[in-house]
Amino acid sequence: LDVADVIRPYPKIVEYLQQVKDDNFLDELVQFEGGQQVRDAIATYLDKYGMRCAGEIDITRTRWSEKPSILVPMILSNIKNLEPDASKRKFEQGRQEALKKELDLLARLKQLPGGEQKAEETKQIIDQIRNFIGYREYPKYDIVSRYFIYKQALLKEAERLVQANVLHEKEDIYYLSFEELQETIRTNKLDYQVIDKRKNEYRLYEKLTPPRVITSDGEIITGQYKRENIPAEAIVGLAVSSGVVEGRARVILNIEGADLEDGDILVTAFTDPSWTPLFLSIKGLVTEVGGLMTHGAVIAREYGLPAVVGVENATKLIKDGQRIRVHGTEGYIEFL
């Protein structure tokens, strides 16, 4: 949101960013009025968060720093859908809502027998949670920060192997185990059949749809949701964030395609922390994968968005642009 605010006053830059296809756009920005300022704002953001990306636990995934154009649709979406200074307003609004909820909860506790003491103890717990809850994000931030350093170091080694004609391209190291890579660096020899075989296997595995439930013994369990009083044409999932919302479905499988309007409902396979910026523009969430405590469900509750997850084939059954109604309390989606 803050980066969007820096760009917002410069319509020529906004227009230019709408055409961006490659990753040299940061250097091109300086030719525009305000370009240096905008470039600095994006660079500062990337310095802090550029090691993140979708599926970031996989070290081979392209990081925002490696391909900054991934962020452009999200920035443009914020410029289009939100007012200037939305960052501070949204934060303050959330703070006030939390405070109101706290006062309401404590007032209700005081009505109970021994209520004064219960309210006092609850107030202490609320304060502790408010102080410390943010730290839950630090381990992941730290892990992903280090992963990026590891990745850069590994690719530097891979570059040397390309120069020595051992590797065809540096990304081929993604198909080697760490020990195999060490051996390749030590001997400058590599059996390319191993990499070709694994590339073919990877392409095959990408086409597979994993089962919804596998037990710890490896047993695959199939079944359907048992629900009553649900409209015949509705599709069913898990209710994870209460409320009902209607809007245009945006079926988005990767963040680069995130052209959102205010009030859209995000329909996707799953979300992870890199998707969080999109939650600023949407009014509801539907995912194919997930449960009560998976990322999308937790963030939807934090942002007060109705959400239904665990909806089998949601990205195929719901068409992009279709109007839908998400019943976050009951756990189903209607087509309008």
Which residues are catalytic, by number? 295
In the chain, the amino acid numbered 324 is: I
Assign 332 to helix, strand or coil: strand
Residues 6+ apart with CB under 8 A from 288: 268, 269, 270, 309, 310, 311, 312, 313, 314, 315
Residue with tokens 């052209």: 259
DSSP annotation string for 160-171: HHHHTTS-SSGG
Residue 6 zone, left/alpha/beta (φ > 0; ψ -120 to 50; rest):
alpha
Contact of 294 with 270, CB cutoff 8 Å? yes
Inter-axis angle of helices 86-110 and 115-132, nearest 10: 160
Nearest of 170, 325, 103, 163 to residue 233 by alpha carbon: 325
At 21, list the tokens.
């296809």
In the chain, the amino acid numbered 26 is: L
- Identify the bridge partners of residue 213 per DSSP, sorted by sequence position: 221
